[in-house]
Amino acid sequence: MAKIPSPSVALVVGVTGMVGLSLAEALKMPNAVGGPWKVYGTARSKPNWFPSSIVDQFISFDASDLDDTINNVSPISDEVTHVFWLAIQVRKNEEATIFINSVMLKNVLHVLKSSARSSLRHVTLQTGTKHYMGPIFDPSHGNQLVAHKSPFHEDMPRLPYPNLYYALEDILASYTPSFSYSVHRSSIIIGASSRSVYNALLCLAVYANICKHQGFPFRYPGNRYTWEHFSDASDARLLAKQQIWAAVSEKAKNQAFNCTNGDVFTGKGLWEVLCKVFNVEFVPFDEKEQFDLVEMMKENALVWDRIVEEHGLLKTEMEDMVTGFNAIIAILNLEFQLVSSMTKSRDFGFFGYADTFKSIEMWERRLQDMKIIP
């Protein structure tokens, strides 16, 4: 007897990132909304720590290469009902970043939609609050940006700057009504991976462990404003839940949703928790003590290499974390509160939340279990 195909087949592009890991785990839960799910996880390669049991098949390919995409995605193009787009490549400026990521998304959608028996129903797009701030991580634009006033709402108009997230949203919109889509705008993502470009918790753990090893103070690399004012964050598990909910909810089709934990914290409160979690001494903020965190980390790259070797950790390169450290500096030196409204999400029927400080503690343990940090 022929096997009955699974009604929901997910292609998770970027499955080895923070949200990708949480999403694959959530999709394979027995009570997953819209399930049971067959899950294809994709990335350019599979790291040693990745648990193979959370995907039905892992596919390695380079989405920026059309031939490679055709060779690897075509065999499943008739099956895939849902795409979860979590992949990102960062280039030297926003324009170059837009180009490479647009090529990647277009290549995958082209292959899936070229099939005469395409089953694709929905595409989920992971973006972030850069939607409301502009390309804050691009030095060529950073000093010229005027962000929206927070709290950020999904219906705020686009800003007059190049923005990766606008470009990707436009690509998806161009395919309607052949499939529906949803957009999920995170704040600072808290999760576990050795891969994610903007992996704040991993970068801060590396910084704290170097400070412990060298006897340096674990100083706050931000300004007084963020030390005293509110920000929010997004647990990777919460993002996964919202994305799965939107993927199967009729009401959520072709909508954008903020996705944050629902609580807020000051820079001081965050630093106190990080000091407890990383077991380092709390150092009060002193704006007279200016320092360059990125240069400090570059200068101590060999120290991190020694820590990795001493503890038998997965090898991670300091140069691969520079983008993450630059992002931390940008966020912790904002002059406005990084806070997004979750009202629309609740109005549409998603009521998830997370305790940010408990999230930090849990994901720090997960990074340790994965042998990524000591």
* Residues 82/240, Cβ–Cβ less than 8 Å: no
Q: 268-276 contacts: CB < 8 A, separation 24 or more?
A: 268/227, 268/228, 269/357, 270/231, 271/220, 271/227, 273/357, 273/360, 273/361, 274/204, 274/208, 274/218, 274/360, 275/208, 275/218
Is 92 tagged catalytic? no
Using left for φ > 0, alpha for ψ between -120 and 50, and beta otherwise, residue 34 falls in left
**Out of 130, 161, 181, 198, which one is annotated catalytic?**
130
Backbone angles phi, psi at 59, to 5 degrees: -120, 120
Vertex 201, ends 235 and 32: CA angle to 5°? 25
**Out of 40, 165, 181, 198, which one is annotated catalytic?**
165
Distance in angstroms (rounded) separating the CA atoms of residues 328 and 323 = 9
Entry field: residues in the chain: 374
Is 165 tagged catalytic? yes
Read off the amino acid at residue 364: E
How do beta strands 230-231 and 265-266 pair?
A: antiparallel
State the catalytic residues: 130, 165
